[in-house]
Amino acid sequence: MFVTPAFAEETPAEGQLHTETGVAHDEGHGKAVFGPFDTSTFASQLLWLVITFGLFYMLMQKVIVPRVGSILENRHDRIAQDLDEAARLKSEADAAIETYERELSAAKAKAGQIASVARDEAKAKADAERAKVEADLNAKIAAAETRIGEIKAKAFAEVDTIAIDTVGSIVEELIGSKATAADIKAAVSGVAKQGA
């Protein structure tokens, strides 16, 4: 039977069932009892409670808990693998840093050694160049002193001749007559001995 909203709002006759609840109207009790609190239906409600609880329990035990457990186990395994990988990478990084520091200190020591050798070689080369230049200068100085000595000796040798010529010219100008070469030479030799 088809029930319209207007028909459902009408008050059913006494002894008829209400179309929405399926419960007979009992006008003598006053108000109708709410279905779940009706004591006449407790046994069926408890039966359905046990059946649905059992079904949900079996569903949880057989389907949901194993899935959740496998998900948690997978995550635990993945986290453990990630931690192991992180520890391995950290140990590799520590080894790489240690190797780098060892190679860096070896390179610094080698650089210091190379710099020391280069400095010693440069110093030895500079000392050799300086010694060579000093030897060349000493040779040139010695040659110059020898030459100066020769020029000086030649000049001193010619000084007597120049002095004799000059004295002869002066005597001739002062006296008006020429003096003999032997007299002039004896006079110049006497003066040279007194000056020495």
Which residue has 């100085």 as its token pair?
141
Q: What pLDDT is recorded for position 8?
A: 52
Q: Is residue 31 part of a domain?
A: no
CA distance 19 to 27: 16
> Helix count (H) and strand count (E) of the chain?
4, 0
The more confidently predicted of residues 174 and 56 is 56
* Contact by Cβ (8 Å): 8, 20: yes
Q: What pLDDT is recorded for position 158?
A: 75
Q: Is residue 188 part of a domain?
A: yes
Q: Is residue 82 part of a domain?
A: no
Q: What angle do CA 24, 12, 38 make, to 5 degrees?
A: 25
Q: What pLDDT is recorded for position 1?
A: 46
Q: What pLDDT is recorded for position 166?
A: 80
CA distance 8 to 125: 124
Mean pLDDT of 75-83: 95
Tally the domains of the chain: 1
Q: Is residue 172 part of a domain?
A: yes
The more confidently predicted of residues 63 and 176 is 63
pLDDT at position 18 over 60: no
Categorize the per-residue pLDDT at 105 as very low, low, confident or very high, splitting at 50, 70 and 90.
very high
Q: Is residue 189 part of a domain?
A: yes
Least confident range from 10-24, 42-56, 94-108, 182-196: namely: 10-24
Q: pLDDT tens across 146-188, in order?
A: 999 888 888 777 777 777 778 778 877 778 777 777 777 777 7
SS3 category, 61: helix
Categorize the per-residue pLDDT at 6 as very low, low, confident or very high, splitting at 50, 70 and 90.
low
Q: Which domain holds residue 166?
A: 154-195
Q: Is residue 182 part of a domain?
A: yes
Q: Is residue 12 part of a domain?
A: no
The more confidently predicted of residues 42 and 62 is 62
The more confidently predicted of residues 32 and 29 is 32
Q: Is residue 80 part of a domain?
A: no
Averaged pLDDT score across all residues of the chain: 82
Mean pLDDT of 125-146: 91
The more confidently predicted of residues 34 and 65 is 65
